[in-house]
Structure 1
């Protein structure tokens, strides 16, 4: 049952630069007085803490964290059901210290000119160097940077990115609600590729055709002339490099001058060297050694064209990667009919304010989140919950933007608009997960930071060795250019983020939200999954099945119990209230109602001191159970029904039993998980007999009942000693276990505290979402491993071949054109492999 004596504090924390920092903050909170549970994350850098406000405060918790060496500020304390503001004393109001002025904020930027992992590293270094920046994370797949900082304005961030050669654009709040779309980038790249291909075609066809069919060369020499044909090649190739290929030089040359070469620098050096050498051979052949008068204009032109083609296909593939999430966001209409003094007016969504009354026509989609004010009907919420069955809606029920109305017209009041809607928050959480760097990605970043300089060194050594051993400057140039072109940090940079991008989008389609990338990595590796019972394995909507009394009238017992539970959100309380309402019982107001997780509730009703709870609650009060109620309790537990008592004025007067049906998909979902080698456990606050009965029906091997929140936490720690463990729950009393598990999975229909403490949210509440999440996690990590094997293997194998290591053994020396094609295909192969995740859990 809900605990009215707990509160939630959200702290922004500075200086957490690694996992060890996070561990030190967790240790400090673990020792803090009054802290019941907490979760600490580095993206964003914050701690969400469940605490006892009678023992501590958000400001005190911030001081505890600051004392550990990590300055912290209070964000938005959320104390359960606070008194109205005008009734609060100064002591009761949330307190913040003077550090609150330095509270961190998160800014997202769109970054231009990023094409490889080296680019990511340069941008992150530039942003992190800005004073006031706590952390910066850049995602190559989405071209976005997420920066945590205490700056009063974002201008220094934009200037730092631009100075590093990567112009940035600040995203508005509304833009953050929209997943990135690569359509414009794809079209621009396609135009560049087409122009480059048209200019390159004559050079390539005639020059390569002459190698395949020698008379063609003789024909060109006889009709056009060797020198005039070279001048034509020079003009066409220069047009390719100065036109469509200008983007490589405009980024690559400044990067070289800054001493921070990246992918564009490699293309610039490779294509530029081939063009410069050929230009010299055309206009000043006397400066070259005898026999070295060759031109490679076709290589320079084809290199640029092929790489442009690769980037076009990559941009299109990245657009497909984010299509699932954009498809969800596109479900909201652009306008909606809003009531105005002049009547109904179709209003753009950006102009709709909370509190506006909107009309919803049959078959239309809900524009923004709201509450039904008039009418009733059925809505299809499958896009959010994954549930195929329509959901009944009546006045007072909530509506979610993007869901589809049935055949009845409704009116509703807007409660959340823009980036505050459920869909926008889902998109934001998915983006947060996409921005998270997995441990393997950090290793890749370290490697790619030295990759491009290493390639430049290899290319220079290749040229020197060829020149020293053969004396042929032309062959030395070809080998060096081929090394520059074939090296591909693009594939390494995309190997992890593009898989995360596709996987999280696919999961969102299925009603599963990964709140951080680490959960996506860890869920597939868990060896034990532990479950809460009520609301997790069961429907969470129990119905009252019997009332057994001792010395009190049945109706009176039900009326008093329902009066005490009138403000509770617990499913058992709702069962009592529903039964009292069905029997037409008049409830009385309750005072001094206090809920204690794991024990129950105490309250005063009509001057009587009431206690509601299980056997443990009665024992805590020192109360003795009447024999009749003891027998009824044993019979109820044998039927796997949940039972709890009512004590009035120190006497146990009644036993209530409720039945909570098991979710229809639970048995199959758990069977699938067991077939994947996962051990299943049940950790319930209900009686051990009920827990065992439910476990037997679902095939769970390790059921435990009668557990308090700290008992669940202890069991989770014991499981972790045996291997990675996940926990699935939905209530306040599950929050400590959710936070402690390697992966916490919250039922989306559960309490806000549980959802905040979890790493993964199952929006629909159905456990088939859990099996989908596990499969997506497992397949994503396999996909990332495949991408990394390809990305690293490609470079390890082909760079030596490009350098000519096989030539002494009769092997081939690759041409720069083949190197350009291989480089373009390497990135495309990584993206195409990641796109296979769009069919995961189908």
Structure 2
């Protein structure tokens, strides 16, 4: 069974939920979604189901072995729809259909639909010609036989789909949009046949409604075509991501270089990437220097420099140098596949706001059919004109189709998450998107989130001997350490041409520093605390030390324990990222309060907070305590987002209403965080909040329009003020207007990109 593991915020449970993705064919309104959902939920072993009208997909969640494909297929078929199982191993799938463009089936289907719409318009044009010419004083009518010949193919051939799914709905004692269209147009067509065959009037041609039935079917087909075309545009982001996957890779073996299919590459293989080629897999550069375009994966518009030991992402494009890359991840584990899976999951999920739509659509179609019946009886009994009564009933059936209602939320979510993914904001699910719009306070980790996370030597001073001699001793002891500050020290020594030999007997003093023997002298390097423990007097450095600490810098000392003398002091600073201040200002513009939660000392934290304009600071907080700080903010009634690097901040990210992980390219903390930022640019935080707000407002606008069409349209149709033709046009364009409104989200420009354009 093709499944992929997915962690549902339940980090404590041993058994993770698994997912199965199904493609459902034949759904066309909110009540169809409801039926498929109910059918799948009734299968044993299914925990949860999310069905999406806009993507025509269902996501089934289960534990353990779960249900079989056959059980799920039968449940969907019984409900009146057809199903295809989606192959989770995209690499296998990709090579089974070599060279196939993602979404090609949908494009072929769209072309077929377009052809049918053209034929329908060709047949319906002569039928509406008399109506068009009437205002110009030209009065003529086609004979009943000509009207019948033009309308019948539209009704029974081009409109056959409405009968097929409408009949299935009746069999299942439920209703859907197709049933309403089939009932409405059949009533108008049947009434025309009856009048033609059984009315003795010589002016019978004027009293027929063949054109009403034909126009309704044509307009609904046209609406469905525009809807399908727009749906294809909404899922453009996924198709763009899928299309950047390379088909082959050039690998280096002991004897030769050879080109192999991408799914034959194994972890550990060395891949050779020439200038202008796509990097086939995630990996680490062994040798070679180049720049790589990662814009489609991370949203980073500028090329990124790559040197030995740099990480690269499969799907990015190499610029000018030859790179030898050691493969670190393939298939479903690659960054590209994880991004595609994440975006697909977000687009397939139901937003909490959709529960209202589900409740409404469950009773919608039966209520509309009842209203149409009441309209027919009320008009017929009060006026005696049963023809007009049936026509008004038809208008009620046609105007009330709930397709716009079913598309309102998913269309906005698909466009919103797709646009966000293009700029490097990965939204895990619809719930994260919905929560993010209402965030009132954001808690930030400091190092690597607001600051570069790359400390630099800011000051060095020696009090015994020359600066270079003391620095050489410092570097000698540090040469045995993997600590980030030791690496910075050694790089500084190298850049300044300071020669040193590794010290002997190097020992780490956990949490405090290092000691070693240099030229027979016992040298220690470490914190103020270590110096105090070894009774080293700081002397003239005491004042400097306090000053540096107040500046928010990290300070280390070097001392000779053989002589008991202090030798010197080195301090390090971690600079705020260039965009951090602008990001905080942007969040304040969005009325969001900011807080820094960091393990650093108070001086360092306050200095950075003041420079960036952050409202509140919690310093010297241990990683495990960050989650408690987040919980306390929730108790105060705040809607909290936590921003961290996704490694040591995992508990706090999980505790927040929405966790935002600052991921660095390939190390994507996708499980804990609701939102993952593919670049370390803090402006993406404000962008993530803004796109979620915009998407949520589009959902509200769409739901308003979907409901308003029906709230205004149904009473007008029942009162006889809306002809079936107008009702058909209004219904067809309600769906199109909802999708078009959602597509306006594509015009959104993120602050992080505007900055680059400047």
TM-score (norm 2): 0.86
* 1:106/1:147 contact within 8 Å kept: yes
Partners of 2:405 and 2:707 within 8 A in 1: yes
Instruction: Please name the residue that 1:767 is paired with.
Output: 682
Match of 1:81 in 2: none
Structure 1 stretch displaced more, 363-372 or 679-688 = 363-372
Label 1:730 to 1:575 Cα distance change in 2 as closer, same or farther (>3 A). Answer: farther
Q: Distance in 2 between matches of 1:590 and 1:297?
A: 99
Q: Distance in 1 between matches of 2:191 and 2:642?
A: 64
Which residue does 1:202 correspond to in 2?
126
Change (3 A) 1:838 1:123: same
* Cα deviation digits, residues 420-470 of structure 1 (max 9, x gap): 321221111112222222221111111111111111111111111111111
Whole-Å separation in 1 of the counterparts to 2:146 and 2:324: 70
Give, in angstroms, the shift of residue 47 of structure 1: 4.2
Residues 157 and 348 (structure 1 numbering): CA distance in 2 closer, same or farther, change over 3 Å? Answer: same
**Deviation for aligned residue 1:343:** 5.4
Of 349, 374, 390 in structure 1, the residue corresponding to residue 262 of structure 2 is 349
**What count of residue pairs does the alignment treat as equivalent?**
723
CA contact (8 A) 2:455 2:573 kept: yes
Residue in structure 1 matching 2:8, options 46, 50, 64: 46
CA distance in structure 2 between the partners assigned to 1:402 and 1:524 by the alignment = 31
Q: Does 1:283 align with 2:283?
A: no
Which of 226, 247, 250 is the equivalent residue of 1:313? Answer: 226
Aligned pairs (5 A) from 1:587-606: 600=511
Mapped to 2, the partners of 1:438 and 1:369 lie a distance apart of 32
2:695 equivalent to 1:780: yes
The 1:292–1:669 alpha-carbon spacing in structure 2 relative to 1, beyond 3 Å, is same
Q: The residue matched to 1:326 in structure 2 has which SS? A: helix
Q: Does 1:123 align with 2:46?
A: no
**Which residue in the other structure is 1:832 paired with?**
740
8 Å CA contact 2:427–2:675 kept in 1: the answer is: yes
Structure 1 stretch 827-836 or stretch 271-280: which is displaced more? 271-280
1:365: Cα distance to partner?
2.1
Shift of 1:526: 1.5
Distance 1:438 1:647, change over 3 A: farther
Query: 2:176 — aligned with what?
Result: 262
After superposition, what is the alpha-carbon deviation per residue over 1:634-691, rounded to whole angstroms, capped at 9, x for unaligned? Answer: 2222333233679999x99886532112111111121111122221221221111111
In 2: Cα distance, 1:612 partner to 1:120 partner: 67
1:184 Cα deviation after fit: 3.1
* 1:185 and 2:109 aligned: yes
Tell which deviates more after alignment, 336-345 or 422-431.
336-345
Q: What's the counterpart of residue 822 of structure 1?
A: 730
Tell whether 2:543 aligns with 1:635.
no
Q: Relative to 1, partners in 2 of residues 1:798 and 1:644: Cα closer, same or farther, differing over 3 Å?
A: farther
Shift in CA distance, 656/384, structure 1 to aligned 2, threshold 3 Å = farther
Superposition deviation, residue 588 in structure 1: 8.5
- Match of 1:841, SS state, is coil
Residue 481 of structure 1, aligned match among 369, 373, 394: 394
- How far apart are residue 277 of structure 1 and its match? 2.0
The answer as to 2:149 corresponding to 1:235 is yes
Equivalent residues in 2 for 1:9-28 (5 A)?
none
Q: Does 1:114 align with 2:32?
A: no
Residue aligning to 2:704: 789
Which residue, 161, 164, 168 being the options, matches 2:79?
A: 164
3-state SS, counterpart of residue 158 of structure 2: coil
Matched, 1:746 2:746: no
1:416 to partner: Cα distance: 3.0
SS at the partner of 1:726? strand
Matches within 5 A, 1:43-192: 44=6, 46-47=8-9, 49=11, 62=13, 72-73=14-15, 104-149=17-62, 150-151=65-66, 153-175=68-90, 182-192=106-116
Deviations along 1:154-199, one digit per CA (max 9) or x if unpaired, are 2211221111111110011245999767423322221221122222
Shift of residue 776, structure 1, vs aligned partner: 0.6
Who is 2:140 aligned against? 217
Shift of 1:108: 0.3
C-alpha displacement of 1:254: 1.2
Q: Per-residue CA shift, 1:361-385, capped at 9, x if unaligned?
A: 2122223323333422221223333
Q: Hey, what's the Cα distance between the residues in 2 that align with 1:728 and 1:179? A: 34
Tell me the alpha carbon deviations over residues 78-117 of structure 1, each in whole angstroms, 9 at most, x when there is no partner: xxxxxxxxxxxxxxxxxxxxxxxxxx43110111011111
5+ residue gaps in structure 1? 1-11, 14-42, 50-60, 63-71, 76-103, 221-228, 808-812
C-alpha spacing 1:471/1:293, structure 2 compared with 1 (3 Å): farther
- Match for residue 24 of structure 1? none
Contact 1:180-1:322 within 8 A present in 2 as well: no
Deviation at 1:760, TM superposition (A): 1.0
* 581, 585, 594: which one aligns with 1:680: 594
The residue number in structure 2 matching 1:9 is none
Q: How far is the alpha carbon of 1:784 from its aligned partner? A: 1.1
Matched residue of 1:259: which SS? coil
Could you give the per-residue CA deviations for residues 273-325 of structure 1, whole angstroms, max 9, x where no partner exists? 21222223333448x9x999942111111111101111111111111112133
1:30 maps to none
1:272 and 2:196 matched: no
2:480 corresponds in structure 1 to 563
Q: Residue 48 of structure 1 contacts residue 757 of structure 1 at CA under 8 Å; is this kept in 2?
A: no
Cα distance, 1:394–1:710 mapped onto 2, change above 3 Å:
closer
The answer to whether the 8 A contact 2:456-2:573 is kept is: yes
Partner of 1:664: 578
Aligned partner of residue 217 in structure 1, secondary structure: coil
How much does 1:132 deviate?
0.9
Deviation at 1:268? Answer: 1.1
Alignment partner of 1:400 is 2:340: no
CA distance in 1, matches of 2:502, 2:70: 60
Aligned-partner Cα distance in 1 for 2:715–2:45? 44
* Distance 1:180-1:512 versus aligned 2 partners, 3 A rule: farther
Residue 196 to residue 542, structure 1, CA distance change in 2 (3 Å)? same
2:353 alignment partner, one of 420, 440, 444 = 440
1:699 — aligned with what?
613
SS of 1:757's equivalent in the other structure is: coil
Query: Distance between the aligned counterparts of 2:576 and 2:43, measured in 1?
Result: 54
What CA distance in whole angstroms lies between the structure 2 residues aligned with 1:578 and 1:756?
A: 35
Equivalent pair of 2:668/2:678 in contact (CA under 8 Å): no
Report the equivalent of 2:753: none
Shift of 1:590: 11
After superposition, the Cα gap between the structure-2 partners of 1:468 and 1:573, relative to the gap in structure 1 and judged at 3 Å, is farther
For 1:679 and 1:512, how far apart are their aligned partners in 2? 21
What's the counterpart of residue 737 of structure 1?
A: 652
Q: Pick from 426, 438, 463: which aligns with 2:339? A: 426
Equivalent residue for 2:754? none
Could you tell me whether the CA contact under 8 Å between 1:592 and 1:604 is conserved in 2?
yes
Change (3 A) 1:179 1:679: farther
Contact 2:527 2:556 in 1 (8 A): yes
The more displaced of 472-481 and 187-196 is 187-196
